[in-house]
Structures are given as C-alpha cells and as structure tokens.
Chains A and B, each alone.
Chain A
Amino acid sequence: DAGVTQSPTHLIKTRGQHVTLRCSPISGHKSVSWYQQVLGQGPQFIFQYYEKEERGRGNFPDRFSARQFPNYSSELNVNALLLGDSALYLCASSLYVVGAPDTFGSGTRLTIV
C-alpha cells in the first residue's frame, strides 16, 4: 500500500513569492494534517482537515492556508514567502480526527532565498 505522498520533494523559492505544496493521504484516511519542521526542531502543527473542513489551526499567520479536496488530498499554500518559512513541510494522514495515529509523509523541503 502507498503511504502518504507529498510533492514536490524539494523546492526553492524567492522571498515574496507564493508556494503550493500537495499531499495525498493513505487510502481510506479522511484526516490530513500539515506540520512545519525547522532544522533541529520538532514538527509544529499548522492545520488539520477532516472531511474537507478545517478542524484545527496552529499558531501560524494568515499567509498560510490549506484546503482538502473530495478525494481527501490536500494543498498547503503559503503567500508572501519569508526567509523564515524555509523548513521541511510534513503532511500526515489518519483515519479519524482524534484517536488514530498520524502517518507522516517524507515531506517537502522548502528553501527561500
């Protein structure tokens, strides 16, 4: 079975640009969460979507937005990129909103120059 797949794997953007990251959850998983992992730190929660609705939001500015599609795949959008947005962006999927463990993808490495 395919795990959580994310694209692209690596991306280089310039300050001020916007970026769209994509995630396909494990088949049958209806919950998708996004995390930001800065080098040397633990992942930090950005969003959770379940059944196409936002169920949770972390402490990130409005430049960050996301959505979930009818097939449960998801996109994370970041506008007006800053140097500090350079990080590994991880997508995780689970069966439920709570009570089921998150399975993570390998992430998208975003570098802002």
Chain B
Amino acid sequence: GENVEQHPSTLSVQEGDSAVIKCTYSDSASNYFPWYKQELGKGPQLIIDIRSNVGEKKDQRIAVTLNKTAKHFSLHITETQPEDSAVYFCAAQEGGGADGLTFGKGTHLIIQP
C-alpha cells in the first residue's frame, strides 16, 4: 500500500516569512495529492490539491509543487499570517481510490508574531 512521509513535524516561522512543508510518497500509481489544514477541535479542511498531470498549482498565498519522478510534493505558504497557525497534512490517493486517502503524520506550523 501507499506510504506518505511528511517533514518537518514542527515548523516555526516569523509572521510574513514563507513556510515550506515536504512530502514523499511510495506508490507510483498515486495521482491525486491534496493538502489539508486542521485547527484544534475541527476536522481537516482542504486548502489546495494537485493531480499528477500538473507540476504546480497556486491559489493566492498557497502553492503546491509535484515531482512525479522523485515522488515528492511540497506546500508553499508565502507572507504567513497568524491565522495560518495549524496542523497541515499532505495526502496521496491511488487512481482507483479504493484505499482512500493516505495521510502524512502532519506538520504543526507556528507563526511567530
């Protein structure tokens, strides 16, 4: 089955700086890669996703890059704000979808004022 590794487990950045979270996956058949933000007491919220036929996707301050050859993908957040503080999860899904999403262990992003 799929295995997703996520780094770092904790990331502290100054407000206004950029944050980068990296993930690797093991199953070359995976073709869908969403990123979720989870705040305390809430369920994960989709913030951006990318499919295997695309190398990069941007949505305002958030961008995701995908390198299928190396089997890794990254989340980039620019101009970080206090409300960006949360736990971020990457995930991967194989094309058939029968195994659901496989999540990384999460990154606790802390924005220092």
Residues of A in contact with B (beta carbons under 8 Å apart): 4, 33, 35, 40-46, 48, 55-56, 58-59, 90, 92, 97-99, 101-107
Residue of B nearest to A43 (CB): B103
In the assembled complex, B113 has its CB within 8 A of some CB on chain A = no
Judge whether A105 and B46 touch: CB under 8 Å.
Answer: no
Q: With CB as the reference atom, state the residue of chain A lying closest to B108.
A: A40
Q: Could you tell me the dominant secondary structure of chain A's interface residues?
A: loop
Q: Which residue of B lies closest to A94 (CB)?
A: B97
Which residue of B is nearest A4, CB measured? Answer: B43
B16 close to A (CB within 8 Å)? no
Q: Which residue of B lies closest to A109 (CB)?
A: B41
Taken together as a complex, chains A and B put the C-alpha atoms of A107 and B45 apart, in Å, by 12
Interface residues on B, range: 20 to 34
- Distance to closest chain A CB from B85 (angstroms): 17
> Quick one: closest B residue to A45, CB to CB?
B100
Q: Say whether A98 contacts B32, CB under 8 Å.
A: yes
Known: A42-B106, A43-B44, A98-B93. A35 touches B49 (CB 8 A): no
Q: Is the CB of B41 within 8 A of A106?
A: yes
Structural contact, A56 and B97, CB atoms closer than 8 A: yes
State whether A42 touches B49 (Cβ < 8 A): no
The smallest beta-carbon distance between A111 and chain B, in angstroms, is 15
A98 adjacent to B104 (CB under 8 Å): no
Q: From residue A94, how far is it (CB to closest CB) to chain B in Å?
A: 9
B104 touches A42 (CB 8 A): yes
A45-B101 in contact (CB<8A)? yes
Q: List 3 tightest A-B contacts by C-beta distance, closest first.
A: A42-B103, A45-B100, A98-B97
- Is B72 in contact with chain A by the CB < 8 A criterion? no
